[in-house]
Amino acid sequence: MPLFSGCRSAAPFLGTSPTAAALLRARLRACRAIAAAALATVSLAAFAQPAASGLRGALDAAWALSGDARSQRDRGDEFDARSRAARATFAGPPTVGIGQRSDRLQRNDGRRDLDGEVAVPLWNPGVRDATRRTVEADRTAYEDGVAAARLQLAGELRALVADVALARIAQSTAERRSAQAGVLADDVARRVRAGESARVENLQAEALRRQAAGDVADAQRQVAPLLARWTALTALTEVPPPEDEPAPGSAPGTTGTATGTRTSSPNDGAAAAATLRPPSPGADPRMPMPADEHPALRAALARLRAAQARLALTDADRRDPVEVAVGMGREREAFGDRSKTALSVTLRIPLATENRNAPRQAAARAEFALADAAYDATLRQVAAEVAAARDTLAASERAAAEAAERARLSGEAQALIARAYRLGESSLPDRLRAENEQYEADRALARAQADTLRARAQLRQSLGQLP
């Protein structure tokens, strides 16, 4: 390796002279410092990986670091184990009982009884099927919840990418303005030296240069925490640019749902809720729902069905499992008598009581009511977000068009005033105002374009579409 070739060649000559040895020891110390810096660089590179392929790759990287992804396999094992338990022959584990009777503390005539039994719980009618349905509903609720969590993570990444893009736009615009301010300050200084302008104009131009340099530093300060947050969330070092995601729907003002498209209106949230609202899950929980297209709605609906399955299980399971016990006993009446062996079969039937069932049924009904209310709230929220995202996109596109026209006019005005200033036909304040107007117009255009990309991504996010 060329970086350490001097370190290897220095070793045979350490004993030539005191001066040479001192020089060579200094070289070795420098080599060790270089090696330590190289190792530190390798460690940082191993911790933060380069950027993945776009926002989708960043989403995969961030999801791999999440707790949901790391626990997904174990949760699958949990549901598999619960499913096997629901398919088992018995309702629970067997129990073993051992008992002994004796008259040693009373008459002590030699009575000895030794009993042993094995008891197994049996499924009550309907409980086994209800348990299986509950397990499958819980599995579906978990899987749909994972999909909703991935969509939520995608929303965080989309928002962070947009924030980084806006901060970088502000930084690049500030840097461009700083460069223009430097050119203007040099031009004014040349004119002051030539006696063509007053010194006050030089002071004004230098103040503008300092202001532009301060704006650059402030913009850099805004970018740094966003990059740190991105690295903490994805373990990537680079933020991809905002993707120009196509807006869903071919025509503006339409809302895409599983039932088709419809024209939006100022009351689009309530109308969307009425369109997306599926029939009551209590009527037929297996009926396909139009809302299944959206991960958040699908997760809320799955939680509602899981709560309904637990309510059905509570209604079916009104008493503890019936137990069948098979026992063997040996009896002796007195000293000297022969022991007798007896076989016993016992059936234990627990009785249904209000004290056992009422709390469970009340808790299941409360859970179902909460899940139903959460589904309604999610439905209204999604419908409102879709309507707001479409309105935001339309407004962003109009703002971008106006900002583009403003930037064009400001650019033309700045060029004319700069030419007039060089010819002595315009004053420095006029040129400074034109420079500032062009800067504001360019920054507004860049922000409007970034806001349009953000609005398109937000619309896809509100419709439940991943990058």
Q: Which tens digits make up the pLDDT trace of 63-101? A: 999 999 999 999 999 999 999 999 999 999 999 999 888
Reply yes or no on whether the pLDDT at 148 is more than 90. yes
Q: What is the pLDDT of residue 75?
A: 92
Burial of 373 (0-12, 13-18, 19+ CB in 10 A): exposed
Instruction: Compute the mean pLDDT over every residue in the chain, rounded to the nearest whole number.
Output: 78
pTM: 0.70
Q: State the pLDDT at residue 336.
A: 67
Residue type, position 162, single letter: A
Q: From CA 229, how far away is CA 237, in angstroms rounded? A: 10
Neighbours of 218 (CB within 10 A): 12
User: How far does CA 230 lie from the centroid of its chain?
Assistant: 12
| Per-residue pLDDT reduced to its tens digit, 374-394 | 999 998 899 899 999 999 999
Dist. CA 362–CA 47, nearest whole Å = 51
236 SS3 class: strand
Question: What confidence score (pLDDT) does residue 393 get?
Answer: 93
Is residue 284's pLDDT more than 80?
no
Residue whose tokens read 């949230």: 269
| Range of lowest pLDDT (107-121, 234-248, 251-265) | 251-265
Distance between CA 171 and CA 136 in Å, rounded?
52
Average pLDDT, integer, range 395-401: 93
Span of 5-9, 39-43, 152-156 with lowest mean pLDDT: 39-43
Interatomic CA distance for residues 237 and 235, integer angstroms? 7
pLDDT (tens digit, 9 = 90+) per residue, 433-459?
888 888 888 888 888 988 898 899 899
